Amino acid sequence: MTIKGRSVGFVGAGNMGEALIKGLLAANLVPAEAIHATDVRLERLKELNRQYGIQISSDNAELIRHADIVILAVKPQIMDAVLTEIAPAVTRRKLLISIAAGVSTAKIRAVLRKDARLIRVMPNTPALVLEGVTAVAKAEGLEADDLETAGEIFSAVGRVVVLGEELMDAVTGLSGSGPAYIAVVIESLADGGVRMGLDRITAMTLATQTVLGAAALLRETGLHPGAVKDMVCSPGGTSIAGIAALEEGGIRTTFIKAVERATQRSRELGQGPK
């Protein structure tokens, strides 16, 4: 299966669902009339219909019947209820793609009570500006090109990596939660600029573009982060003084712990309420 000529359904039309709809349309992969979406918020669906011209419905099972590829874009906490609702309409002809953090394919199959073609993925919020990164988990019971189809969809909103499902919680802790960490970095840099006399708008512009530029430099050159740090830090200069302050604050350990704890929380979400 490739996505060309197929219909795509979104069970859940939140920010990530909208990002994917926007990406699919911008890349001319799927026409608006072949995109269907459901959501508990009627006004949200009407808004997406006005903006993108997609098909909308309040009936999840009906959406499954119309779509060849189904994106399960609901919160982990309500996944069981949604799966129970759509199970009668799920067949082997449908490719299901779940973006719910922490919810394993084994758990989804157990609730569906059938051998569905199922792929678990973890995108992140920069997909909203087509600069996301998505991990696609390898899975059993797929057709030959199902993984390629998932890669095609999520490549429309950024980059894609393919790995084992056992690593998906770590992906959630790093790239899934990572935009929040970087937002805190940008806010903190801007706060430092304000403290040193810059106005807030200028400080935010400088901080945001600095983070964006540093990331682009690393991506485009393939340099190790340490090499870029050394490029900026001259002997006895301002940058190495700032680095020393960061090391005093334990910045490396703090970021490592952030990824670790977010990974642990993803695993807890996958286990469900206790």
Round to whole Å and give the CA distance between 163 and 170: 11
CATH fold of the domain at 178-269: ProC C-terminal domain-like fold (1.10.3730)
What local confidence, expressed as pLDDT, does residue 273 receive?
61
The answer to whether 121 touches 137, Cβ cutoff 8 Å, is yes
Angle subtended at Cα 136 by Cα 264 and Cα 178, rounded to the nearest 5 degrees:
45
Q: List, by residue range, all CATH 1.10.3730.10 domains of the chain.
A: 178-269
Residue 26: which residues within 8 A CB-CB, separation 6 or more?
130, 156
Q: List, by residue range, all CATH 3.40.50.720 domains of the chain.
A: 8-172
The answer to whether 190 touches 123, Cβ cutoff 8 Å, is no
109: burial class by Cβ within 10 Å (0-12, 13-18, 19+)? middle
What local confidence, expressed as pLDDT, does residue 272 receive?
66
* Nearest CA-CA partner of 112 in 91, 87, 93: 87
What local confidence, expressed as pLDDT, does residue 132 receive?
95
One-letter identity of residue 179: P
What local confidence, expressed as pLDDT, does residue 266 receive?
87
Mean pLDDT per block of 10 residues along the chain (274 residues) reads 85 92 92 94 93 94 93 92 94 94 89 92 93 93 90 94 94 96 98 98 98 97 97 97 97 98 88 64
Bridge-based pairing state of the strands 95-98 and 117-122:
parallel
Q: How many CA atoms, within 13 angstroms, populate the side-chain half-sphere of residue 162?
A: 11
Predicted TM-score (pTM) of the model is: 0.88
Instruction: Dig out the tokens for 102 from the structure.
Output: 């922490």
Residue 187, number of CB atoms within 10 A of its CB: 14
What local confidence, expressed as pLDDT, does residue 236 receive?
96
CATH fold of the domain at 8-172: Rossmann fold (3.40.50)
The DSSP call for residue 87 is G
